[in-house]
Amino acid sequence: MTEQELLIDREEYLKRGVHIGTKSQHKDMEDYIFHVKKNQLAVINLTKTDEQIREAGEFLSDYEPDTVLFVGRKPEAKESIEKLSNAIGTEFITGRFMPGSLTNPRSENFTEPDIIVATDPEIDAQAIQEASDTNVPVISIADSENRLDNIDLVIPANNKGEKAIATVMYLLGREYAEHRGLEFDFELSDFAEVEEVEE
């Protein structure tokens, strides 16, 4: 894949830290790690990130917006999930995911999505497990250290940084909207603005 074929310039991915993995690497993520630096920090393969965002966008587009549920417990994911959900009309749960939200019809938080999108397999494990228990497919961002149990489609990326998560959310939303013929009048900077450094 050439630079021109990426969804955004590689430099934009780099500026927002989408490629930055962790010092831990799980074997489930081996195929998505470009290399490991001398300081043991993994570098995620951005070409594969880009490919997986495209695939996730196409996969997600089979679902009506109101049947899609975005979940993200960590604070770094909150703003971009809510912004994206409001933009394309999907459901979302940010902050604590109450047990039984997908499995207990008597719960006041009960919801029945057809697919969920998570930001972290570890932090969002409750939601992912409940999705699996109810045969709901799961798309998730995963960092170099994450296991991929019960994940149907992975987006390899830094899921610790707010701008990195926001970049993935923006691109996933843009791809989804394009496939479904929805309006999506946003720029990357609307989701993940980076400060220009003075020379």
Domain total in the chain: 1
45/6 Cα distance (integer angstroms): 12
pLDDT at 198: 42
What pLDDT does residue 36 have? 82
Q: Is 193 part of a structural domain of the chain?
A: no
Q: In whole angstroms, give the CA distance from residue 73 to residue 123.
A: 7
Q: What is the pLDDT of residue 197?
A: 45
The string of pLDDT tens digits covering residues 26-65 is 888 889 989 888 888 899 999 999 999 999 999 999 999 9
Q: Pseudo-torsion of CA 51, 54, 56, 61, nearest 10°?
A: -160
3-state DSSP assignment of residue 142: strand
Encoding tokens for residue 10?
A: 């590689």
For 199, the 3-state DSSP assignment is: coil
Confidence bin at 4 (pLDDT 50/70/90): low
Query: Which residue, among 13, 14, 17, has the nearest Cα to 161 in the 3D structure?
Result: 17
CA atoms of 59 and 98, how far apart (whole Å): 27
The Cα 135–Cα 165 span in angstroms is 26
- pLDDT of res. 25: 85
In terms of residue numbers, what domain contains 31? 3-181
Stretch 145-156: mean pLDDT: 95
How far apart are the C-alpha atoms of 7 and 9, rounded to whole Å? 7
Q: How many CB atoms lie within 10 A of CB 27?
A: 8
Mean pLDDT for the chain? 93
Domain of 70, CATH number, reads 3.40.50.10490
Q: Is residue 199 part of a domain?
A: no
Q: For position 1, what pLDDT does the model report?
A: 46
DSSP string, 14-80: HHTTTTB--S---GGGGGGEEEE-TTS-EEE-HHHHHHHHHHHHHHHTTS-GGGEEEEE-SHHHHHH
- The residue assigned the tokens 């969002």 is 124
Report pLDDT for 191.
Answer: 94
Q: What is the pTM of this model?
A: 0.93
pLDDT tens-digit series, residues 79-98 = 999 999 999 999 999 999 99
- Return d(Cα 20, Cα 162) in angstroms, integer: 12
Q: What is the mean pLDDT of residues 123-127?
A: 97
Residue 73 reports pLDDT greater than 80? yes
Give residue 40's pLDDT: 82
